[in-house]
């Protein structure tokens, strides 16, 4: 077994927008906007089966369901991210007991808007981060991006001893609503995705948090068309293949092997911080890993109360676990994010 590196993933800060849409609101909206769509009833059944009871969105539903154009939506993404991200970052820095001037790198993982230069440059200019802060925006890993960000932060601190890394996830999925897309995958995504901002700090010193020890990545061959954006003049159109929910069967052995390579047993970890993209993902993963489904309760609660908040899912699950005080010293954990590709980004850690 490898020597433990005392790198700490501290408690995340999470912001959920003030506007809320319930499952019933979603169903009513679908019946109004897609009343003549032959896919409607099947899609509503799938939306109910997700278990998503409410979602937070960045603007009132009356505005979110309009389509003033991709340019306007992207401008709104920029405006709201610059308005809201700094406060989330400040809370994350406070959680880690570090200042902005002590950050060596920013890893920023949005998948629902585009800025050039990245928001990272704006944050350096406006939040007192050092001018030589390394910037790593990651925009094309979708829901797996938070797992990837944790892993890249881990790698960076190992390569630059003594460094602190800031991770930011800004996901306004509601800005990708397409009122003309009536296929089952699009209608399901309309009832599944929510908006959120999250941030967390990885420090080179031990602290109250998860000590990152080992990470791994995996891509299931020939699945790159299963979850994707089709980019049009109207923006991002979400495309979902019906085979996607079956991806836990090939991913579970990869997670098992990662744990085994570290001298751990995937079936006997204390904590599972899992990306919840739907109830079947969690059900299947519990089955193939041979763990009690209750181990995924915090991930499921995130799905129920926030919807699928893209790369912020694992941070919200971890934040909730942290605040409930469930962690015990030495407890082993796996963080796993799944996303477009189909890919998995996995991290093994222990509570310090």
Spatial distance between the Cα atoms of 198 and 166, rounded to a whole number of angstroms: 11
Buried b / exposed e over 306-315, threshold 16 CB at 10 Å, is bbbbbbbbbb
Does 143 qualify as catalytic in the annotation? yes
Nearest to 279 by CA among 297, 263, 292: 297
CA distances from 177 to 61, 93, 114, 173, 236 (A): 11, 33, 16, 8, 8
**Tokens representing residue 24 in the block:** 């019933």
- Out of 143, 170, 173, 306, pick the active-site residue: 143
* Dihedral angle of Cα 250, 256, 259, 261, to the nearest 10 degrees: -80
**Strand-pair partners of 134:** 105
The DSSP-derived string for 200-258 is: EEEESS--SSEEEEEEEEEE-TT-TTSEEEEEETTEEEEEE-TTGGGGHHHHHHHHHHH
Residue with tokens 């599944």: 192
Strand ranges for 58-180 from DSSP E: 105-108, 134-137, 165-172
Q: Residue 205 CB: number of other CB atoms within 10 A?
A: 13
Q: Which are the catalytic amino acids?
A: 143
């Amino acid at each position: 077994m490898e020597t433990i590196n005392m790198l700490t993933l501290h408690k995340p800060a999470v912001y959920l927008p003030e506007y809320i849409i319930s499952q019933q609101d979603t169903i009513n909206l679908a019946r109004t906007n897609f009343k003549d769509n032959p896919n409607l009833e099947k899609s509503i059944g799938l939306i109910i089966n997700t278990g998503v009871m409410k979602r937070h969105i960045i603007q009132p539903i009356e505005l979110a369901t309009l389509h003033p154009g991709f340019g306007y939506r992207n401008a709104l993404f920029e405006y709201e991210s610059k308005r809201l991200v700094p406060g989330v970052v400040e809370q994350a820095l406070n959680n880690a007991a570090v200042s902005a001037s002590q950050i060596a790198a920013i890893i920023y993982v949005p998948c629902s808007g585009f800025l050039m230069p990245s928001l990272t440059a704006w944050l350096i200019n406006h939040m007192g981060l050092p001018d030589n802060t390394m910037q790593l925006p990651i925009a094309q890993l979708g829901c797996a991006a938070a797992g990837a960000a944790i892993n890249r932060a881990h790698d960076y601190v190992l390569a630059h001893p003594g460094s602190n890394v800031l991770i930011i996830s800004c996901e306004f999925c509601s800005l990708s609503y397409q009122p003309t897309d009536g296929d089952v995958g699009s209608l399901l995504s309309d009832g599944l995705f929510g908006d959120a901002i999250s941030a967390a700090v990885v420090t080179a010193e031990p602290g109250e948090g998860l000590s990152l020890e080992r990470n791994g990545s995996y891509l299931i061959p020939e699945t790159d068309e299963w979850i994707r954006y089709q980019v049009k003049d109207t923006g991002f159109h979400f495309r979902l293949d019906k085979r996607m929910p079956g991806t836990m069967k090939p991913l579970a052995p990869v997670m098992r092997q990662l744990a085994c390579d570290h001298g751990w047993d995937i079936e006997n970890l204390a904590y599972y911080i899992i990306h919840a993209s739907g109830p079947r993902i969690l059900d299947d993963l519990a089955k193939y890993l041979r763990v009690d489904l209750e181990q995924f309760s915090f991930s499921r609660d995130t799905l129920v109360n926030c919807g699928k908040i893209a790369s912020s899912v694992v941070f919200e699950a971890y934040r909730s676990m942290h605040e409930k005080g469930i962690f015990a010293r030495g407890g082993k954990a796996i963080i796993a994010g799944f996303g477009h590709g189909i890919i998995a980004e996995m991290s093994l850690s222990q509570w310090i």
